[in-house]
């Protein structure tokens, strides 16, 4: 509850934030603070300096730019969950953002901080990976974009280079007629996902034309359920077809499994299959 | 009795300050020159301390002192246990405020840093170097009592703190003759009390006067003063303990802790006020926990379902040291309650109090009674299943019939009054039991897993007759006292020795005074929580405050009324026996317009211009109330759950509570107590429990892992009540603080097990977390 000593810097712009990160070895970015501050209070994190980007107005808000939504890194979960553009064009993300933590967390926690922290049991990264989102990054070497699926490199590790800042998220708009669902099994204490399933299915002429299925909470990074997707495409999305697709999941878990006192890895995998089937049912019901 | 003032229409006067953040808690207090302590706690569950090097810490910025067990040894007496249960071979190993040679749980104090700021103190903690020699640890209370287990205390072989037995009738004969028996092993998980406010203490030693003032998050400041004196050696009359606003305790703020002794020690060494406030993480390590029982239990019955016997063997984890009331909880407050609401002629129980390498265990809301009620109600359900009798019908066959003035049970207690079947009927009515069973049958035919749980309970509260307290080894009395003081304007202060901390007695005690002498409720202010301002009392716990302290308030107010009648007679020139009282007025019989109001009386008594011969001035009275018996509230609860068989997740869909806590002073507050109590009892059934790894490291160290019930864990709770007055209490009050907690654990547990019974599942340890339930279902599918 008593963080170690640190120094505080407030950045007025992304460029200044990048410069401050470079000038302060061991500095951490502070946005909503909902992952960093608790870790500091427990002295699990003791950054030498904090660079507060929370006042950079340009990093906040949602716009529609051609075929994708641009969501500023500082946009809160609550703002995303209630945003008309997100609900119209990426309802999966609105659904996931709306079940993060509790209202207090959703009112302060930011999408950029969430994605950068990369908790494997958090909801938005699962949804963003399923949506084929990309993350916009600024750093000493300029700007670049990283696909959501390439972003996590391990437990709480990501593809950001030194002194790079995640400035926003680009989310392709959902194809007309596609159905999506985020279905979550929340941990009773932390409210993180024991299992979170993001599913998108599109149908043409009664057949599944494309599918994107990603599962969070089971492995140290979001799991793309490629076997499930393959089983879905071309199927008629009937209950039997969804059962068969869900049954294909087991082969998709190849990474490091998560396990804790509430849910063993075996239980998580079993629950992933259950929640996957439920998510597929909801998503299929939303097509057309 | 009129119910003019006893009603729900009166809101809790505590709430405006509490819910607007205007209340002042211990940690809000800032004294001139105050410095801050932080305590280094053992990271090992069991280890020898080879060395403690404080030199680097002492050199950190702002650090005033660093003390270790070598400093406090001799300066502070060991932290005492205050419930020395007799006839149990009780061992009381020393509990040093700061460990010197050995640590026995993760959280044991090893050193303290005092610095100008809390941050400096916390920073310096990281510079203390402790060399440990780790030892094997043991947490499971049964395993701890087995041969070969790691030993915590040299003077407690096999980690046994005590072996205590309860017996009535001839249980062995009952089992030998039984037509049917059922048995079970029940685990009551170790629980964290989780008050909103963590513990805090400020010690202010003034060397020039030899006076120690302790601000403390205590449920019982007078006991804290007494034990502070024992530990620090400062005489009791020079110690003042103030419990300012206290943000809940649930029993965890009853004990006298090492931490307040350490704060006092630091202040006495440094001559400045020292504040220590625990963090939430510290609260999870160093504040006493509850339950931690393993209960091997069996019930004997006739083929007709009449219960003939109950036998138990209970392993009660006590943690690493005996806390203030630790030994009394699993014995007096548990074993003596083995009858529950039933006529059980033969009972025998053995309770092993076992040291283990965990945080010390003490009272937690319900304290012993949820552990008793759960085992009884579980066995009754198992018996019903065995005999294929509806569990409600089986209960009816065994309930103690209605009684109004005393019923002896074989454990030696005399229940005060009860109408157990009436509350059972009421809860069945409220819930629509017959149609619930029909719905359940329909659900089962659809493959859904729906369960209904019913539980009755009787609890012992209103603790209690002091003679009994002495007989059962409690190192204090259990009476309460009150002073009622009328000011010249007719306004009233009431000083009580109990120490409410959220229960609402500032409101209900004012209602008592208003009820008795007709003043407005708002004209009565209750003062509590300061040993210099209040008369002696033993504190707020065990659902005793309204029952015992409230009785003292009642009796003191009745003395006021007697004096007022005599003074009115004098002023009205009538004989005292001709003065009648109604609605705040004392009047001459037959002439209601010839009257004096209580305010008239208060003014005259205070100015004393015209007093009768021999009457003392002033309008103030004190009363000491030592209850002649405990009180025994009771009730029946019902829950409906549905289990998702694919996941093991449990949906608690409906909850009904019918409680009888005697006469209710403020039914709204009663309802609130039931609500909170039910929620806290649902916790261990479905969610809560401390988990340690094999080395004794707690894995539920934060609220991210320790699952408390939340609003969305609970359905709307239907609360009803009946009123069976306590025959021996001046107001007929019994107490309600723990009722919900006692009833809801077995009610919800039984509901889940009822849901799972068609699958052939009869036992899963609490808490019923989804993976455990899912594994049981998988096992039943595969094996059965």
Residue bearing tokens 């062995």 = B172
- Look at A2 and B118 and tell me if their CB atoms are within 8 Å: yes
Strand pairing of B347-355 and B211-216? unpaired
Q: Does B645 touch chain A (CB under 8 A)?
A: no
- Going by the DSSP 8-state scheme, the letter that residue A11 receives in this structure is -
pLDDT at B4: 67
Taking contacts as CB-CB distances below 8 angstroms, the residues of chain A near B770 are: 263, 267
∠ CA B351-B353-B357, nearest 5°, is: 145
Residue B692 pLDDT more than 60? Answer: yes
pLDDT in tens, chain A (288 residues): 899 999 999 999 999 999 999 999 999 999 999 999 999 999 999 999 999 999 999 999 999 999 999 999 999 999 999 999 999 999 999 999 999 999 999 999 999 999 999 999 999 999 999 999 999 999 999 999 999 999 999 999 999 999 999 999 999 999 999 999 999 999 999 999 999 999 999 999 999 999 999 999 999 999 999 999 999 999 999 999 999 999 999 899 998 889 999 999 999 999 999 999 999 999 999 998
On chain B, the residues whose CB falls within 8 A of the CB of A267 are 770-771, 774-775
Q: How would residue B784 be classed by pLDDT, with cut points 50, 70 and 90?
A: low
Confidence of residue B3 (pLDDT cuts 50, 70, 90): very low
pLDDT over 50 at B320, yes or no: yes
The Cα B463–Cα B545 span in angstroms is 9
**What are the distances in angstroms from CA B702 to CA A189, A190, B610?**
9, 9, 66
Give the A:B interface size as CB pairs under 8 Å.
Answer: 49
The string of pLDDT tens digits covering residues B249-293 is: 999 999 999 999 999 999 999 999 999 999 999 999 999 999 999
Chain A residues whose beta carbon lies within 8 Å of the beta carbon of residue B118: 2
Minimum distance, in Å, between the CA of residue B669 and any CA atom of chain A: 28
Residue-averaged pLDDT of chain B:
97
Beta bridge partners of A219: A257
Of B119, B279, B687, the CB nearest to A188: B687
Q: Which residues of A touch B702 (CB under 8 A)?
A: 42
> What pLDDT was estimated at residue B1?
38
> Any CB–CB contact under 8 A between B281 and chain A?
yes
CB B531 within 8 A of CB B239: yes
Summarize the confidence of residues B330-346 as an average pLDDT: 98
Are A151 and A124 contacting, i.e. CB atoms less than 8 angstroms apart?
no
Which residue in the set B280, B647, B704 is minimally distant from A274, CB to CB?
B647
CA–CA gap between residue B14 and residue B286 (Å, rounded): 29
> Which of A286, A283, A155, A145 minimizes the C-alpha distance to A217?
A155
The alpha carbon of residue B346 and the mean position of all alpha carbons in its chain are separated, in whole angstroms, by: 29
Output the six-digit token pair for B662: 């005697």
Q: What is the number of helices (H) and of strands (E) in chain A?
A: 11, 14
Strands A207-216 and B634-643: unpaired
Q: Please check whether residue B117 touches A, CB under 8 A.
A: no
* Contact between chains at A185 and B649 (C-beta distance less than 8 A): yes
Residue B699 contacts A, CB cutoff 8 Å: yes
**Antiparallel, parallel or unpaired: β B274-277 and B35-41:** parallel
Answer yes or no: are the C-beta atoms of B757 and B382 closer than 8 Å. no
> Which region among A236-240, B6-10, B44-48, B129-133 has the lowest average model confidence (pLDDT)?
B6-10
List helix spans (H) across B204-360.
221-232, 258-270, 280-286
* Stretch B153-159: mean pLDDT: 98
pLDDT over 50 (residue B2) = no
- The partner residue sitting opposite B707, judged by closest CB among A1, A5, A188, is A188
Which pLDDT tens digit goes with each residue over B735-759?
999 999 999 999 999 999 999 999 9
Measure the CA–CA gap between A212 and A254, rounded to whole angstroms. 18
**Interchain contact, B706 vs A267, CB within 8 Å:** no
* Chain B residues with beta carbon closer than 8 angstroms to that of A270: 774
Distance CA B496, CA B549 (A): 7
Q: Tell me which chain B residues have a C-beta less than 8 angstroms from the C-beta of A262.
A: 705, 707, 769, 771
Mutation target to probe the B interface, by most B beta carbons within 10 A, among A3, A37, A218, A261 is A261
Structure tokens at A36: 């960093």
Q: Would you call B647 an interface residue with chain A, using a CB distance cutoff of 8 Å?
A: yes
Answer for the pair B129, B110: CB distance below 8 angstroms, yes or no: no
State the residue for tokens 């004393």. Answer: B608
Q: Are B379 and B180 in contact (CB under 8 A)?
A: no
Flag whether pLDDT at B702 surpasses 80.
Answer: yes
Interface of B with A in 705-744 (CB under 8 A): 705-708, 713
What is the nearest CA distance from B649 to chain A, expressed in angstroms? 10
Min CA distance, B50 vs chain A (Å)?
Answer: 26
Q: Fill in the DSSP letter of residue B149.
A: P
CB contact under 8 A, B713 and A188: yes
Q: Give the separation between CA B428 and CA B432, rounded to whole angstroms.
A: 6
Which pLDDT does position A288 carry in this prediction? 83
- Which residues of chain A does B280 touch, with a Cβ-Cβ cutoff of 8 Å? 1
CB-based contact B771 A267, cutoff 8 Å: yes
DSSP string, B368-423: THHHHHHHHHHHHHHHHHHHT--HHHHHHHHBPPPBSS-EE-TTS-EE--B-HHHH
CA distance A174 to chain B (A): 31
Write out the H or E segment, with its range, that includes residue B682. helix B667-682
Nearest to B705 among A189, A264, A274 (CB): A189
A-facing residues of B in 154-183 (CB < 8 A) are none
Sheet (strand B619-625) strand order: B524-527, B492-496, B480-486, B619-625
Hey, are the CB atoms on A263 and B771 less than 8 Å from each other? Answer: yes
pLDDT tens-digit readout, B34-89: 999 999 999 999 999 999 999 999 999 999 999 999 999 999 999 999 999 999 99
- Could you report the per-residue pLDDT of B374-406, keeping only the tens digit for each? 999 999 999 999 999 999 999 999 999 999 999
Cα-based angle A251, A199, A151 (whole degrees, multiple of 5): 75
Q: Spell out which residues of chain A touch residue B123, defining contact as CB-CB under 8 Å.
A: 4-5
Nearest CA in chain B to A1: B279
DSSP structural state of residue B78? P
Name the residue in chain A with its Cα closest to that of B118: A2
| Chain B residue numbers touching A186 (CB-CB < 8 A) | none
Classify burial at B544, counting beta carbons within 10 Å of its beta carbon; exposed 0-12, middle 13-18, buried 19 or more.
buried
Q: From CA B691, how far away is CA B189, in angstroms rounded? A: 9
- Provide the Cα torsion B28, B34, B39, B40; round to 10°: 130
Distance from CA of B122 to the nearest CA of A (A): 7
Q: Give me the pLDDT at residue B723, please.
A: 97
Which residue out of B60, B123, B771 would a mutagenesis test of the A interface target, given it has the greatest number of A Cβ atoms within 10 Å? Answer: B771
Dist CA A22 CA B201 (whole Å): 44
Interchain pair B769, A262: CB under 8 A: yes
Q: Are B49 and B100 in contact (CB under 8 A)?
A: yes
For B705, name the nearest residue in chain A, comparing CA atoms only. Answer: A189
**Rounded to an integer, what distance in angstroms lies between the CA atom of residue B650 and that of residue B643?**
5
Q: Does B442 touch chain A (CB under 8 A)?
A: no
- Which residue in the set B122, B646, B707 is minimally distant from A189, CB to CB? B707
Q: Which of B119, B706, B774 sits opposite A189 (nearest CB)?
A: B706
Which of B123, B713, B774 lies closest to A267 in CB terms? Answer: B774
Residue of B nearest to A277 (CA): B646
Q: Which residue has the tokens 């283990």?
A: B356
In chain A, the residue whose alpha carbon lies closest to the alpha carbon of B693 is A261
**Beta strand pairing status for A207-216 and A223-224?**
antiparallel
């Amino acid at each position: 509850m008593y963080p170690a000593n640190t120094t505080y810097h407030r950045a007025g712009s992304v460029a200044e934030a990048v410069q401050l990160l470079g000038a302060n070895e061991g500095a951490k970015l502070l946005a909503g603070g909902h992952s960093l501050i608790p870790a500091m209070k427990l002295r699990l994190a003791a950054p030498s300096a904090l660079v507060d980007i929370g006042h950079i107005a340009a990093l906040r808000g949602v716009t529609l730019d051609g075929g994708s939504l641009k969501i500023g890194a500082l946009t809160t979960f609550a703002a995303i969950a209630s945003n008309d553009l997100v609900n119209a064009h990426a309802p999966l993300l609105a659904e996931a953002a709306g079940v993060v933590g509790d209202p207090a967390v959703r009112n302060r926690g930011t999408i950029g901080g969430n994605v950068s922290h990369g908790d494997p049991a958090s909801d938005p990264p699962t949804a963003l990976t399923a949506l084929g989102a990309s993350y916009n990054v600024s750093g000493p070497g300029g700007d670049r974009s990283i696909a959501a699926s390439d972003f996590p490199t391990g437990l709480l590790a990501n593809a950001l280079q030194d002194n790079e800042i995640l400035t926003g998220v680009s989310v392709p708009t959902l194809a007309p007629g596609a159905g999506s669902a985020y279905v979550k099994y929340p941990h009773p204490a932390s409210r993180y996902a024991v299992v979170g399933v993001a599913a998108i299915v599109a149908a043409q002429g009664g057949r599944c034309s494309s599918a994107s299925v990603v599962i969070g909470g089971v492995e140290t990074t979001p799991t793309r359920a490629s076997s499930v997707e393959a089983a879905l495409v071309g199927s008629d999305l009937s209950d039997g077809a969804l059962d068969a697709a869900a049954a294909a999941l087991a082969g998709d878990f190849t990474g490091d499994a998560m396990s804790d006192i509430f849910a063993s890895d075996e239980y998580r995998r079993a629950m992933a299959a259950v929640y996957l089937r439920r998510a597929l049912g909801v998503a299929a019901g939303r097509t057309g | 009795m009129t119910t003019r003032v006893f009603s729900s229409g009166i809101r809790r006067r505590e709430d405006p300050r509490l819910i607007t953040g205007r209340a002042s808690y211990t940690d809000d207090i800032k004294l001139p020159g105050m410095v801050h302590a932080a305590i280094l706690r053992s990271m090992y569950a069991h280890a020898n301390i080879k060395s403690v090097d404080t030199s680097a810490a002492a050199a950190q910025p702002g650090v005033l002192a660093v003390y270790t067990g070598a400093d406090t040894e001799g300066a502070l007496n060991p932290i005492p246990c205050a419930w020395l249960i007799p006839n149990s071979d009780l061992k009381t190993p020393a509990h040093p405020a700061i460990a010197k040679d050995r640590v026995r749980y993760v959280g044991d104090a090893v050193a303290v840093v005092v610095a100008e700021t809390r941050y400096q103190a916390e920073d310096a903690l990281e510079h203390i170097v402790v060399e440990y020699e780790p030892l094997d640890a043991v947490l499971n209370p049964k395993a701890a009592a087995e041969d070969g287990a790691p030993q915590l205390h040299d003077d407690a072989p096999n980690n046994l703190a005590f072996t205590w037995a309860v017996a009535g009738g001839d249980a062995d004969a009952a089992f030998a003759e039984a037509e049917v028996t059922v048995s079970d092993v029940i685990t009551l998980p170790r629980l964290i009390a989780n008050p909103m406010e963590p513990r805090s203490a400020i010690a202010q030693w003034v060397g020039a006067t030899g006076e120690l003032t302790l601000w403390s998050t205590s449920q019982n400041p007078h006991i804290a003063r007494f034990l502070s004196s024992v530990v620090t050696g400062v005489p009791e009359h020079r110690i003042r303990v103030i419990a300012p606003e206290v943000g809940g305790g649930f029993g965890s703020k009853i004990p006298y802790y090492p931490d307040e002794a350490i704060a006092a020690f630091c202040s006495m060494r440094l001559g400045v006020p020292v504040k220590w406030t625990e963090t939430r993480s510290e609260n999870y390590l160093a504040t006493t926990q509850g339950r931690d029982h393993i209960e091997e239990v069996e019930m004997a019955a006739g083929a007709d379902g009449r219960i003939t016997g109950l036998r138990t063997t209970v392993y009660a984890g006590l943690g690493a040291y005996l806390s203030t009331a630790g030994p009394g909880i699993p014995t007096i407050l548990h074993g003596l309650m083995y009858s529950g609401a039933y006529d059980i002629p033969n009972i025998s129980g053995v309770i092993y109090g076992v040291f283990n390498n965990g945080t010390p265990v003490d009272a937690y809301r319900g304290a012993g009674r949820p552990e008793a009620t759960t085992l009884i109600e579980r066995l009754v359900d198992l018996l019903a299943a065995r005999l294929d009798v509806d569990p409600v019908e089986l209960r009816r066959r065994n309930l103690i019939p209605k009684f109004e003035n005393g019923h002896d049970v074989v454990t030696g207690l005399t229940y005060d009054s009860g109408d157990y079947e009436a509350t059972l009927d009421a809860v069945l009515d409220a819930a629509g039991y017959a149609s619930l069973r029909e719905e359940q049958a329909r659900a089962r035919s659809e493959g859904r897993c729906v369960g209904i749980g019913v539980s009755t309970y009787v609890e012992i509260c209103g603790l209690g007759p002091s003679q009994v307290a002495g007989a059962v080894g409690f190192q204090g009395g259990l009476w309460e006292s009150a002073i009622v003081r009328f000011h010249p304007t007719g306004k009233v202060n009431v000083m009580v020795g109990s120490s409410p901390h959220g229960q609402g007695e500032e409101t209900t005690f004012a209602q008592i005074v208003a009820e008795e002498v007709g003043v407005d409720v708002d004209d009565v202010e209750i003062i509590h929580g300061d040993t210099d301002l209040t008369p002696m009392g033993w504190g707020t716990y065990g659902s005793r405050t309204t029952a015992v302290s409230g009785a003292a308030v009642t009796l003191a107010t009745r003395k006021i009324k007697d004096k007022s009648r005599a003074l009115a007679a004098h002023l009205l020139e009538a004989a005292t026996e001709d003065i009648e009282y109604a609605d705040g007025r004392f009047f001459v019989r037959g002439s209601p317009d010839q009257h004096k109001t209580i305010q008239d009386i208060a003014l005259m008594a205070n100015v004393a211009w015209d007093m009768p011969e021999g009457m003392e001035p002033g309008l103030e009275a004190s009363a000491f109330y030592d209850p002649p018996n405990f009180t025994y509230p009771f009730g029946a609860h019902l829950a409906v759950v549905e289990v998702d068989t694919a996941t093991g997740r449990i949906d608690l869909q409906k909850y009904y509570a019918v409680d009888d806590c005697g006469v209710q002073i403020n039914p709204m507050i009663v309802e609130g107590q039931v609500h909170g109590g039910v929620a806290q009892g649902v916790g261990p059934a479905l969610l809560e429990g401390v988990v340690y790894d094999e080395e004794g490291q707690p894995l539920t160290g934060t609220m991210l892992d320790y699952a408390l019930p939340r609003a969305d864990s609970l359905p709307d709770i239907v609360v009803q009540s009946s009123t069976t007055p306590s025959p021996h209490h001046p107001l007929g009050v019994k107490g309600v603080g723990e009722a919900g907690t006692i009833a809801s654990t077995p009610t919800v547990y039984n509901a889940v097990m009822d849901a799972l019974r068609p699958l052939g599942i009869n036992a899963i340890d609490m808490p019923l977390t989804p993976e455990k339930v899912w594994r049981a279902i998988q096992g039943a599918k595969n094996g059965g």
